[in-house]
Amino acid sequence: MSNSQDRYAQRGVSSSKSEVHAVVDKLDRGVFPGAFCKIGADILTGNPDKCNIIHSDGSGTKSTLAYLHYKETGDPTGFRKTAQDSLVMNIDDLLCVGAINGILISSTVNRNARAIPGEALGQLISGTEDFLATLREYGVGVHSGGGETADVGDLTGTVTVDSCAVVVMDRTDVIDNANIKPGLAIVGLASSGQATYEDFENSGIGSNGLTSARHDLLSPYYLEKYPETVDPTTDKQFLYCGPYKMTDTLPDSSMTVGDAIMSPTRTYAPIIKQLLTEDRDNIYGMVHCSGGGQTKCIRFGTSVHHIKDNFLPIPPIFTAIQKASDTSTEEMFRVYNMGHRMEIYCDPKAAAGIIAKSEAFGIPAQIIGRTEATQRADGQNHVTIQHDGQTLEYTLEH
């Protein structure tokens, strides 16, 4: 185990989730076994032409950053970003199977009522409704199905925010990542900057790796003042061991460290809505680079060598994390999105048009790589990343 991986493990985090996949990968994979999300038969209506998807995810420990901001400033509006984080981690996964309509969302907030009073809870709820309304303005059919608020002070010192999404869709509309094959272009859509449908600059951090990002960037000041934000069984050397306060300027950026690590997870729904309407026949697969970062793609396609050698500029937030923590480049690409969080696997001839449509929304995009036939004797997928003079190799972990 590398030093950086040891830091993740010491914080109770698995960067590869190999122990989870060892169990989950043996379960029924649904009617489209190679899809990004598990897709089941339509048991709600029994229609053989349709399928059901139920998907759950959340903001993770990123909610802690909104809590820190709230305690330091008295401003509860940061929790609106947390609401978006939880929603997008579900919605953008669903985009990868072609679900852009008829999506019903339910959210669960588990809070310590002493730490998260009514004004903060109100921002979580209103932030959820407002974000979904914005997506509907762009033609994405997503609606609120309500949710649950649980006061569980014995379980959490602050707050966790999770969501669940349900959709019924035509099987003929499914994007099946089993179709990812050699000979495709990989178009990456940037995670940082400001989209036309956003009213703020985004650092690109998303909602993966935040346990380590928070502790590697923020100073011991937060451990001393807010012990409720950590696991007391974790060795203190791994807690809030960074050089920054949230009000400090992020190096090589116009953002503060707080604004950068609180940047809500960007949704690509408006872009994907247009692409699925106009370019569906040229799209063979999509990957939301969430858990697993730039290695997430390794689980999709058959006998595929994913080659990524033309990355968008690495956003300053990731450079700062790596410098503060001395995390290896190999681990950075395994944990973080490193500058693009949505990948379109397409006919190379269609790439220019897809890029232009993304850029029309203010989101830079480019061909970041390609797919070739696997070079492994066992026929397994693998990933090669070439960046800054380094060649990094990744294989499936079981």
Is 118 within the bounds of a domain? Answer: yes
Is 40 within the bounds of a domain? Answer: yes
Is 120 within the bounds of a domain? Answer: yes
Is 249 within the bounds of a domain? Answer: no
pLDDT of residue 398: 47
Pairwise CA distance, residues 125 & 127, whole Å = 5
Tokens 């029924």 belong to 28
Is 361 within the bounds of a domain? Answer: yes
Is 104 within the bounds of a domain? Answer: yes
pTM attached to this predicted model: 0.94
> Do 99 and 276 meet the contact criterion of CB atoms below 8 Å apart?
no
Q: Which runs of E-coded beta strand occur in the chain? A: 40-41, 50-58, 103-111, 142-151, 159-170, 185-190, 283-288, 304-308, 340-346, 365-373, 382-387, 390-395
Domain count, the chain: 1
Is 30 within the bounds of a domain? Answer: yes
Digit-coded pLDDT (tens) for 154-208: 999 999 999 999 999 999 999 999 999 999 999 999 999 999 999 999 999 999 9
> Do 169 and 53 meet the contact criterion of CB atoms below 8 Å apart?
yes
Sheet holding 304-308, edge to edge: 283-288, 340-346, 185-190, 365-373, 304-308, 382-387, 390-395
Q: How many residues does the chain have?
A: 398
Phi, psi of 265 (to 5 degrees): -60, 120
1: pLDDT confidence band, cut at 50, 70 and 90?
Answer: very low
Is 248 within the bounds of a domain? Answer: no
Q: How many CB atoms lie within 10 A of CB 253?
A: 18
Q: Domain range holding 104?
A: 3-205+261-395
pLDDT, the chain, mean: 94
The CATH number linked to 170 is: 3.30.1330.10
Digit-coded pLDDT (tens) for 211-236: 999 999 999 999 999 999 999 999 99
In order of 207, 268, 354, the CA distances from 366 in angstroms are 23, 15, 9
Average pLDDT over residues 229-257: 96
12: pLDDT confidence band, cut at 50, 70 and 90?
Answer: low
pLDDT of residue 17: 57
pLDDT of residue 29: 81
Check whether 11 has a pLDDT greater than 90: no
Average pLDDT over residues 292-310: 97
